[in-house]
Amino acid sequence: MNYENILIERENGIAVITINRPTKLNALNKATIEELHAAFKAENEEASTKVIIVTGSGEKAFVAGADISEFASFSVEQGSQLAANGQELLFDFVQNLSTPVIAAVNGFALGGGLELAMAAHFRVASDNAKMGLPEVTLGVIPGYGGTQRLPQLVGKGRAMEMIMTAGMIDAPAALNYGLVNHVVAQAELLDFAKGIAAKIAKNSSVAIAKAIKVINDNYVDGVNGFQSEIRAFGESFGTEDFREGTTAFLEKRKAEFPGK
Ligand code: COA
């Protein structure tokens, strides 16, 4: 598929998806959300892709939010549909992907931008990054999962304050809040994220997919994560990766996981 709003590079099992609308600070319009869905789906189905990094083009923004010009005249029904479609196509989709997703937050991550970063499995940020959910300044609330994922990541009180004030926090504050795992200089951000991705790529992709699912189960209503863990732990024993991992350990060599 040819993309107009995103770029994709693949190297050593790591796919980098770059949102590429720099003149609009990479704001997420409908077309970009659809392209991102297609790209995440394709990479998830590509056995050679072990980790996906999502970032923004340019030095200023990761993503400055949903594209305000697209929804300014929406009705109640269209607004509900916008949130539902976006959550299904991109935000829930990324959270539940079996391939690990790292957000490399290289500047402003506002509104839908921060929501996309929060849907990723974890985040690293450049030292110039600024994060916030400014929706209430527009008379709306976060609609791509922000009211749910922000409190999960930073705690209810901090999330309440960030959403009510619509303020931005800088990278050191985001690190302090646990919203991002690491902060590095902007020029080093992508290599730093790739370094973490390379460590992940060496491990069993089957086991990692199970771990993502079970960790996410903690946040699903009516699902007991401990029971999910027991089930997925047991299933691991039936995989080729488990046989290879344990055999390699006992033979004192590095495992070469088949990913099955
Ligand atoms: N939707 C649509 N366009 C956006 C956008 C968004 N969320 N964020 C930025 N842009 C566009 C601007 O309209 C501008 O386009 P133009 O040059 O055609 O006028 C371009 O991106 C550059 O943005 P600009 O505002 O000129 O940059 P800045 O450095 O002065 O300010 C921000 C940067 C991020 C503080 C500012 O762009 C902003 O507040 N954006 C909206 C953030 C937001 O509310 N997001 C939540 C949406 S739900």
pLDDT of 231 reads 98
Say how far apart CA 245 and CA 226 lie, in whole Å: 24
Burial degree of 122 (CB within 10 A; 0-12, 13-18, 19+): middle
Segment 93-129, tens digit of pLDDT: 999 999 999 999 999 999 999 999 999 999 999 999 9
| φ and ψ of 197, to 5 deg | -60, -40
Residue 141: pLDDT band by 50, 70, 90 thresholds? very high
The CATH T-level fold of domain 6-201 is 2-enoyl-CoA Hydratase; Chain A, domain 1 (3.90.226)
Segment 211-255, tens digit of pLDDT: 999 999 999 999 999 999 999 999 999 999 999 999 999 999 999
Say how far apart CA 192 and CA 176 lie, in whole Å: 19
Residue 56 alpha carbon to ligand 1 centre in Å: 14
Verify whether ligand 1 is closer than 6 Å to residue 131 (CB atom): no
Say how far apart CA 210 and CA 200 lie, in whole Å: 14
Element at 15 (helix H, strand E): strand 14-19
The catalytic residue among 135, 188, 244, 251 is: 135
Element at 64 (helix H, strand E): none
pLDDT of 91 reads 98
pLDDT of 45 reads 97
pLDDT of 48 reads 96
Residue 169: pLDDT band by 50, 70, 90 thresholds? very high
For ligand 1, atom 41: residue with the closest CA: 64
Say how far apart CA 70 and CA 226 lie, in whole Å: 42
pLDDT of 13 reads 97
- Whether residue 161 lies in the annotated active site: no
Mean pLDDT, the chain, whole residue set: 97
Segment 6-18, tens digit of pLDDT: 999 999 999 999 9
Taking residues 152-162, what's their average pLDDT? 98
Residue 55 alpha carbon to ligand 1 centre in Å: 17
Taking residues 46-70, what's their average pLDDT? 97
Query: For the chain, what are the domain ranges?
Result: 6-201, 205-250
Segment 180-213, tens digit of pLDDT: 999 999 999 999 999 999 999 999 999 999 999 9
* Amino acid making up residue 205: S
- Whether residue 11 lies in the annotated active site: no
pLDDT of 1 reads 77
